[in-house]
Amino acid sequence: MKVYNTLSRKKEEFVPLEEGKVKMYVCGPTVYNLIHIGNARPMIVFDTARRYMEYKGYEVEYVSNFTDVDDKIIKKAMEEGVSAQEISQRYIAECKKDMEALNVKPATVHPLATEEIGGMLDMISALIGKGYAYPAKDGTVYFRTRKFEGYGKLSHKNLDDLQAGHREIQVTGDGKEDPLDFVLWKPKKEGEPYWESPWCDGRPGWHIECSVMAKKYLGEEIDIHAGGEDLIFPHHENEIAQSEACSGKPFARYWLHNGFLNIDNRKMSKSEGNFFTVREIGEKYDLQVLRFFMLSAHYRSPLNFSGELMEAAKSGLERIVNGADSLRSLSSGANAAAMSPQEEEIWRGSGAFVEKFEAAMDDDFNTADGIAAVFELVKYANIHTGVASSKELAEKLYGRLAELCGVLGICVERKEEILDEEIERLIAERQAARKEKNFARADEIRGILLEKGILLEDTREGVKWKKA
Ligand code: AMP
Ligand code: ZN
């Protein structure tokens, strides 16, 4: 498997630190609002990378944080007259709902910056101890950028060309030695959340949060660090400086960055006001369509969002789901159980599309070509199956299609069917509860189903249900 590494600006063979395991960190959103579809791009593409590595047999430890202390969160809290924590908790919960609807798997750990302050104080102290950081008079702690030899190696910037990070809060305290130095810890302002520290009551800079959370949950050396391309500089450059100055070891082996999602060929961003939230798109489309749309381009390419492309994604996805549907109905209506020798040949032939899919994904997660292979498999199945097909062939082809789609995080079952399954599961759970004389739970389940518009009827043949 090859991945494009921003560090080397080359596609490199992926070799994990530990055989069979992948330690991966993906920078998560700052939670002060509903996420927009640009924020959803890294979630979807790196979730797909994770799924593909799992498909290949790797055990993936996937860590993705929530930045829950930040100027924008504080500003929003002040506007609403509530605590910053209330804002961040609210939007973490909303973000998790969106992730679920986008079929983004929960991370192995979703750490919160505010719960990792102790580790940040430790790392900052260690950096001061090694001479890589210093407190200024007002208690701000700065990283001594020029002291870290490799500074600029990720963004391929020359130190002299650099300017202080645009996402850094400008601290006017005196005592900053060099304009390139960036903030590790900053003093509190009136009304802001703060923590005690040896330098001042205050809060961490944004970059130190990720260095600390990656170290705590994955270790000093990790395989993959990922995020949107706007994070290359200064965020990831600064993370490298902090982590490597502290540990003396290379921090992440592979740095992966997704391209931007644009709208009308302009960068989609909250500050420009030209964005759609995932929620808004979810009102118009099944969010699988959004996922499919995102994966129809290579993750490193810029991608322009438009209604036309979403419609194209919708009909493409429909073609795949229809293909899966017809295989399923062929398998349930099939006369012959086992494959004929001729069908075995057809089955073997379908392996070519798996190879194509894998070759595409092995080439820096080329989901666009991966999807093309899935389309070819659908077409092949349509051509080579029919009413005379055996159950075995229809099932196997369905399984193959569902598996490849599963790597993309695309579910080929129809939504109603998922719902039916859920109903059946709840009914079974209710029956079990009744058997155990847990009538409270049984009633609760009846209530849950009623809320979903499902009426239960206890008959002699068992429980029947219908939609109200
Ligand atoms: P933020 O909440 O701004 O820190 O962003 C969270 C993640 O979303 C980061 O990895 C960003 O790089 C990414 N991101 C933000 N806007 C876009 C966009 N328009 N297209 C792609 N990725 C984006
Ligand atoms: Zn980060």
Neighbours of ion ligand 2 (CB under 5 A): 27, 210
Q: Rounded to 5 degrees, what are φ and ψ at 167?
A: -95, -5
CATH number of the structural domain spanning residue 241:
3.40.50.620
Q: Which of 39, 155, 258 to mutate to test the pocket of ligand 1 (most atoms within 8 A of CB)?
A: 39
Helices (H), 181-338: 206-218, 237-247, 278-284, 287-295, 307-333
How is residue 244 written in tokens?
């490597």
Residue ending a domain, among 258, 291, 324, is 258
Whole-number Å distance between alpha carbons of 211 and 429: 44
Residue closest by Cα to atom 6 of ligand 1: 29
pLDDT of residue 456: 87
Are 31 and 91 a contacting pair, CB within 8 Å?
Answer: yes
Ligand 1 atom nearest to 228, measured from its CA: 12
Question: What is d(CA 265, CA 438) in angstroms, rounded to the nearest whole number?
Answer: 58
Type of residue numbered 449: L
Q: Is residue 350 part of a domain?
A: yes
CA of 167 to the centre of ligand 1 (A): 13
Q: Which atom of ligand 1 is nearest to the CA of 229?
A: 12
For position 363, which CATH number holds? 1.10.730.10
Output the residue whose Cα is nearest ligand 1's atom 5: 29
Residue owning the nearest CA to atom 14 of ligand 1: 39
pLDDT score recorded for residue 164: 46
Distance separating alpha carbons of residues 133 and 242, to the nearest angstrom: 9
Taking the centre of ligand 1 as the mean of its atom positions, its distance from the CA of residue 362, in whole angstroms, is 25
In this structure, the answer to whether residues 396 and 436 fall within a common structural domain is no
| 61: enclosing H helix or E strand | strand 59-64
- Amino acid type, 153: K
Order the strands of the 59-64 sheet from edge to edge: 59-64, 21-26, 222-228, 252-258
Nearest to 133 by CA among 192, 179, 176, 82: 176
**148 and 254 fall within a common domain:** yes
Quote the tokens at residue 443.
């009633």
- Tokens 């979403």, residue located: 310
336 and 247 part of one domain: no
Query: Pick from 341, 322, 320: which is nearest to 393 by CA?
Result: 341
Q: Atom 11 (ligand 1): residue with closest C-alpha? A: 228
State residue 422's pLDDT score: 83
Per-residue pLDDT of the chain (468 residues; tens, 9 = 90+): 999 999 999 999 999 999 999 999 999 999 999 999 999 999 999 999 999 999 999 999 999 999 999 999 999 999 999 999 999 999 999 999 999 999 999 999 999 999 999 999 999 999 999 999 999 999 999 999 999 999 999 999 988 777 544 445 454 556 899 999 999 999 999 989 999 999 999 999 999 999 999 999 999 999 999 999 999 999 999 999 999 999 999 999 999 999 999 998 888 887 788 999 999 999 999 999 999 999 999 999 999 999 999 999 999 999 999 999 999 999 999 999 999 999 999 999 999 999 999 999 999 999 999 999 999 999 999 999 999 999 999 999 999 999 999 999 999 988 777 678 888 889 999 999 999 999 999 998 998 888 877 888 888 888 888 877
Is the same domain home to 120 and 202? yes
What pLDDT score does 31 carry?
A: 96
Contacts 24+ apart (CB under 8 A), 419-428: 419/452, 423/449, 423/452, 423/454, 423/465, 427/456, 427/463, 427/465
d(CA 398, CA 223): 34
Q: Is residue 126 located within the same domain as residue 162? A: yes
d(CA 293, CA 285): 11
DSSP-based helix, strand, coil % in the chain, nearest 5: 50, 15, 35
pLDDT value at residue 267:
84
In this structure, the answer to whether residues 394 and 446 fall within a common structural domain is no
Closest C-alpha to ligand 1, atom 16 = 38
Mutational pocket test of ligand 1: of 230, 235, 255, 258, the residue with most ligand atoms within 8 Å of the beta carbon: 230
User: Nearest 5°: phi and psi at 322?
Assistant: -60, -40
3 state SS of 131: coil
Q: Rounded distance, CA 250 to CA 216, Å?
A: 16
Domain contains 361 = yes
Q: How far apart are CA 448 and CA 248, in angstroms?
A: 55
Q: How many domains does the chain have?
A: 3
Q: Clarify whether residues 248 and 365 are in a common domain.
A: no
Evaluate whether residue 415 is within a structural domain.
no
CA of 39 from ligand 1 middle (Å) equals: 4
CA of 226 to the centre of ligand 2 (A): 8
Q: Which domain holds residue 221?
A: 2-258
**Does one domain contain both 454 and 403?**
no
One domain for residues 299 and 326: yes
Ligand found nearest the CA of 230:
1
User: Which residues surround ligand 1 with Cβ inside 6 Å?
Assistant: 27, 29-30, 38-39, 41-42, 227-228, 230-231, 258, 260-261, 267-269
Query: Measured from the CA of 262, which atom of ligand 1 is nearest?
Result: 19
Is there a domain that residue 265 lies in? no
Q: Which amino acid is at 393?
A: L
Q: Say if residues 280 and 305 touch (Cβ distance below 8 Å).
A: no
170: in domain:
yes
Q: Does 252 lie in the same domain as 137? A: yes
Could you tell me the end-to-end alpha-carbon distance of the chain, in angstroms, rounded to an integer?
Answer: 51
Tokens of 111: 């750490």
Q: Could you tell me the pTM of the whole model?
A: 0.89
Q: Is 205 in the same domain as 322?
A: no
User: Any idea which residue has 């390139």 for tokens?
Assistant: 180
Ligand nearest to the CA of 227: 1
- Does residue 412 belong to any structural domain of this protein? no
Rounded to the nearest angstrom, the distance between the alpha carbon of 28 and the centre of ligand 2 is 7
Q: Considering all CA atoms of the chain, what is the largest pairwise distance in Å, rounded to the nearest integer?
A: 83
Task: Assess if residue 181 is contained within a domain.
Answer: yes
Task: Compute the distance from residue 150 Cα to the ligand 2 centre, in Å.
Answer: 19
Domain co-membership, 249 together with 286: no
Q: Of the ligands numbered here, which is closest to the C-alpha atom of 63?
A: 2
Classify residue 458: in a domain, yes or no. yes
Residue 285: phi, psi to the nearest 5?
-130, 155
Residue 197: left if φ>0, alpha if ψ -120 to 50, beta else—which one? beta
